[in-house]
Amino acid sequence: MPTPALRVCGLGKLYKIGQLQKYKALRDTLTDAMSAPFRAARTLVKGQPTFVAAAESEFWALKDVSFTVNPGEVIGIIGRNGAGKSTLLKILSRITEPTEGSAEVHGRLGSLLEVGTGFHPELTGRENIFLNGAILGMKKAEIKRKFDDIVAFAEIEKFLDTPVKFYSSGMYVRLAFAVAAHLEPEILLVDEVLAVGDAAFQKKCLGKMSEVAKGGRTIFFVSHNMGAIAELCSRAILLDHGRQINDGPVATVLEHYSRLNNSQGSQIDFTLDPSLPCCILGLRLCNQDGVDSNSFDINDEITIFITYRVSVKLHGLQLTATVARNFIDVIHSFDTDGMDEIPPREPGLYQARLAIPKMFLKGGIYSVRITAGTPDRLIQDFEAALQFEIEELSVNTHMKGYRRDRVGHVILNDVWQSSRLE
């Protein structure tokens, strides 16, 4: 029986959330140490307690996660935001240590968990390729053999000898993925960082990961793109609030994930993150009468309202709404569609509105994914933020001859014309 590529047993990661401690210089530490006995004596005389603990609470980012991965498996890690997906990959990558349990890794591991993972900002793209190869345990001759393929894939020939601190986020990702995929790690960990790239590059990366998987290497893939998970992976692990709630064939786990998201209503509010230049605050669904709902008739117009705040002047900001059914994207629309150029957005509170015409989507359950970002940076991503259902109650009244069992996801009504030519 082959040695597993990964073996995870009872893995848990605990964080303590409490008062932030101020960083102190060495002289402050020494001064505090020397004056501590005098402060303690003074508080005893005054009848005050000598120690007051900082209020803190515990947060389990992961709890009791166990699984085994055999060489050559392609595993999708899915779950809502905050489920523990990235924490799991950071433990497997040895970036952070678990609080409990163990994670055994057998084989050379390459990871792409965030933009510029493993890069030194002062080094050029060329130098970072060799640095990353050395970190992975590659010999110089091996790196040279793959060098041209890496540069061609990343499409950064003009900037190869430029320090990477001057790269955009998109250039960082292209080079980082090219290095991780081409330097032949036996285990490849890829987080949602690929969402920063454009659609063409994402497709290119998925093709490369498929090629890597066929070569017998193990892949751990975290993505909010359920279509990509279904296409690339044979198995999936579902996490929710840090706990592993399903592990099995990808179709079964995706169905479980869909049911998990079905309990949401027609409106959701998000927490303001003041550190972000743009923050999505809320999402709401309503019909043509302005009534909030997540259940519609096929003859209803569906409107998606997105409220967001811009804190600094942003160039190239785009909101994206993706409507999916059965993990297949049906609508992928930018709020800048139809514009010749994207105007800068000044600080302020905004609301965007997307109207889905009546008699357009077939009956079924749909999920709404909302993202905000610029061409070189993904700022926020809320996958399956809300779900809604369309029922075909009045379809025969408004579209004669329509059959409910026809395939596809959209309806094209009154678009055909036919005439006799002779």
Instruction: Please state, in angstroms and rounded to a whole number, the distance separating the CA atoms of residues 348 and 22.
Output: 32
Pick the closest to residue 209 from 104, 110, 327 (CA basis).
110
Query: How confident is the model over 238-255, as a mean pLDDT?
Result: 90
Query: How confident is the model over 161-183, as a mean pLDDT?
Result: 82
Query: How confident is the model over 65-79, as a mean pLDDT?
Result: 91
Q: Residue 36: pLDDT above 90? A: no
Measured CA distances, 236 to 41, 98, 326 (Å): 60, 22, 16
- pLDDT, residue 40, reads 56
Least confident of 28-37, 87-96, 351-360: 28-37
pLDDT digits (tens, 9 = 90+) for 87-108: 898 899 888 899 999 999 888 8
- 233 Cβ contact partners less than 8 Å away, ≥ 6 residues apart: 74, 75, 76, 221, 250
- pLDDT, residue 35, reads 63
Q: Residue 65: pLDDT above 90? A: yes
- pLDDT, residue 1, reads 62
Query: How confident is the model over 374-385, as a mean pLDDT?
Result: 85
More confident residue, 344 or 137: 344
Q: Are 380 and 373 in contact (CB under 8 A)?
A: yes
Query: How confident is the model over 216-232, as a mean pLDDT?
Result: 81
Pick the closest to residue 200 from 164, 162, 173, 239 (CA basis).
173
More confident residue, 325 or 21: 325
In the block, which residue shows the tokens 């569906």?
302
- pLDDT, residue 114, reads 63
**Confidence class of residue 52 from pLDDT cuts 50, 70 and 90?**
very low
Query: How confident is the model over 11-38, as a mean pLDDT?
Result: 62
What's phi and psi for 379, nearest 5 deg? Answer: -90, -50
In 189-298, alpha helices (H): 199-214, 226-232, 250-261
Q: Residue 307: pLDDT above 80? A: yes
pLDDT digits (tens, 9 = 90+) for 327-353: 788 999 999 998 888 999 999 999 999
Most confident option among 57-61, 350-354, 357-361, 411-415: 350-354
Query: How confident is the model over 112-133, as a mean pLDDT?
Result: 80
- pLDDT, residue 285, reads 95
Q: Residue 237: pLDDT above 60? A: yes
**Confidence class of residue 64 from pLDDT cuts 50, 70 and 90?**
very high
Q: What is the number of residues in the chain?
A: 422
In the block, which residue shows the tokens 């848990």?
12
Q: Are 251 and 93 in contact (CB under 8 A)?
A: no
Q: Per-residue b/e over 114-123, b at no fewer than 16 CB within 10 Å?
A: bbbbbbeeee
Instruction: Give me the domains of the chain, ranges plus CATH numbers.
Output: 59-260 (3.40.50.300), 267-398 (2.70.50.60)
